[in-house]
Amino acid sequence: MAFTILIVCSGNVCRSPLAELLLREGLAALPGVSVSSAGTIALVGEGMPDDGQAVARALGVDPGGHRARLLVAEQVRGSGLVLAMAREHRSAAAELHPRAARRAFTLTEFANIARQVEDTDFDDVRLLPLDDVAGRLAAVVDIAAALRGVVEHLEEVELDVTDPYRQGQEAYELTAAQVKPAAEATVALLLRGATIAPGTTGAIL
């Protein structure tokens, strides 16, 4: 069984492809997990701009194969986790498939929750076998959804990743400085859920 993570921004050439590349690399060891991205007003078929590619390569990921695609309802419907670059993109995804609203977050929102998840929150995950990666990750998303209104919140301005499109190298570096730690926190939570030992109270394999 597969588990798909969908990352959404506007043009799908700057923010979401960078997050896609970082998450794909971080989760590469998990079988059956795929990461993709799309844009609400995508520059369909275009690659990342040169400044964006330079920043991506500096972070150790290869942006050369990326081509922008338009966000459609089928992508949202088939995703176990939707990570938006800004609140407007989270709303756009939920409008295309309203049932996905519970599993749709901004990237920084999900990362903020991820940093506050306790080992005691993983009780449902521990009921699942280690080889049910998709089931475990779906359970982790349920944990995050349940904690959304409980944990310490970000300020509204912190929920959105800034758009660097056509704003120069410094803008891309600022975006990367937001995306990288959020992607790392997201990866850490998902790996934690995928590897926590069944039937235990917080032991990590």
Select which of 9, 24, 90, 160 is catalytic: 9
15 a catalytic residue: yes
- Note whether 100 and 172 are within 8 A (CB): no
Structure tokens at 186: 């997201």
Select which of 121, 124, 132, 142 is catalytic: 124
Select which of 14, 15, 90, 126 is catalytic: 15
- Note whether 62 and 94 are within 8 A (CB): no
124 a catalytic residue: yes
Which residues, in sequence order, are CB contacts of 173 under 8 Å at separation 6+?
55
What gap in Å lies between CA 126 and CA 136, rounded to an integer?
Answer: 8
**Phi-psi label, residue 32: left if phi above 0, alpha if psi -120 to 50, beta otherwise:** left
What residues act catalytically?
A: 9, 15, 124
